[in-house]
């Protein structure tokens, strides 16, 4: 499908908001703490598994046939921040800060000690956070018989650290890698990832607030009614539907208030 620049921005903003809302909500997590800091936790191991799967979807590329361009939703938000169509009085600033900070965190390399009992190997791996989130998210989502691409990526990560393993060994260590990086390390990261995603979600909200105020038209009635005035360039029915729902998202506000993670939880791995 062919979209105008403003239609494509609306589509990616709507898709990104929906994906973050599927992760940052009170069905998925519990919050504790106060002004000095807090902690967000997935409610169960199943919720943590879904959290990993949804997070990988957010970091994966969209379908060009539907969104007009194939790129990750985080990259799409970063592109929007470079040329923000709805920006008024620097309303895009918080979104820009949050997306840049999250990308930097994801691309940071960490050194992790890992024991792989399936092949009797104790070693250290230097790995980007985005990499182990992707590997574990795909292990969580798919049966091992569908993980050939992830097995190749895992071999590449291990090889980059000076260790050569066969395809069969990469298959054997899937459970060990998942236990260390998902059950252990990602569990430590959940709170800070949720904080950063929530900051991105609030950044989208604040970016669009001026457009919401411009667009909404209140009508008389019981109950009161309203409609939105579409900006120029939003022509297709699909883009108009995304715009309407996006404005309703601004009207509703994000599910979870901003929160800060305890500093000690930000320093692990």
Same domain membership, residue 102 and residue 21: yes
Q: What is the pLDDT of residues 86-99, one digit of tens each?
A: 999 999 999 999 99
Shared-domain flag, residues 80 and 170: no
Last residue of a domain, one of 159, 183, 207: 183
Do 101 and 9 share a domain, yes or no?
yes
Task: Tell me: do 209 and 168 sit in the same domain.
Answer: no
List alpha helices for 142-234, DSSP H: 148-160, 167-172, 174-178, 187-215
How do residues 138-167 score in pLDDT, each as one tens digit? 999 988 888 888 889 999 999 999 998 888
85 and 123 part of one domain: no
CA-based nearest residue to 58, from 75, 81, 79: 75
Instruction: Say whether pLDDT at 70 is over 80.
Output: no
Question: With bands split at pLDDT 50, 70 and 90, how would you rate the model's confidence at 66?
Answer: low
d(CA 91, CA 217): 21
Number of domains in the chain: 2
| Tens digits of residue pLDDT in 101-117 | 999 999 999 999 999 99
Task: Identify whether residues 34 and 89 lie together within a single domain.
Answer: yes
133 and 222 part of one domain: no
Question: Is residue 9 located within the same domain as residue 88?
Answer: yes
Q: Are residues 90 and 223 in the same domain?
A: yes
User: Which range (33-47, 128-142, 230-244) has the least confidence?
Assistant: 33-47
Which of 183, 211, 238 is a domain's end point? 183
Domain limits for position 145: 109-183
Q: 150 and 102, same structural domain?
A: no
pTM, rounded to two decimals: 0.93
Of the residues 183, 207, 226, which one is the last residue of a structural domain? Answer: 183
């Amino acid at each position: 499908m062919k979209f105008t620049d403003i239609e494509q921005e609306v589509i990616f903003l709507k898709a990104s908001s929906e994906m973050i809302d599927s992760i940052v909500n009170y069905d998925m997590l519990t919050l504790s703490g106060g002004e000095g800091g807090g902690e967000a936790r997935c409610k169960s191991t199943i919720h943590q598994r879904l959290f990993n799967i949804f997070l990988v979807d957010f970091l994966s590329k969209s379908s060009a046939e539907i969104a007009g361009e194939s790129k990750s939703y985080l990259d799409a938000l970063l592109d929007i921040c470079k040329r923000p169509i709805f920006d008024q009085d620097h309303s895009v600033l918080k979104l820009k800060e949050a997306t840049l900070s999250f990308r930097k965190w994801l691309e940071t390399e960490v050194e992790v000690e890992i024991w792989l009992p399936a092949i009797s190997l104790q070693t250290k791996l230097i790995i980007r956070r985005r990499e182990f989130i992707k590997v574990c998210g795909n292990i969580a989502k798919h049966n091992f018989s569908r993980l050939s691409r992830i097995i190749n990526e895992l071999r590449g990560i291990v090889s980059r650290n000076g260790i050569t393993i066969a395809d069969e060994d990469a298959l054997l260590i899937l459970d060990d890698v998942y236990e260390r990086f998902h059950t252990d390390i990602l569990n430590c990261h959940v709170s800070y990832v949720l904080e950063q995603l929530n900051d991105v979600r609030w950044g989208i909200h604040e970016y669009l607030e001026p457009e919401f105020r411009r667009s909404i038209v209140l009508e008389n009635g019981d109950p009161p009614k309203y409609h939105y005035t579409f900006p120029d360039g939003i022509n297709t029915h699909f883009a108009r539907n995304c715009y309407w729902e996006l404005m309703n998202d601004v009207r509703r506000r994000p599910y979870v208030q901003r929160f800060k993670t305890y500093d000690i939880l930000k320093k692990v791995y």
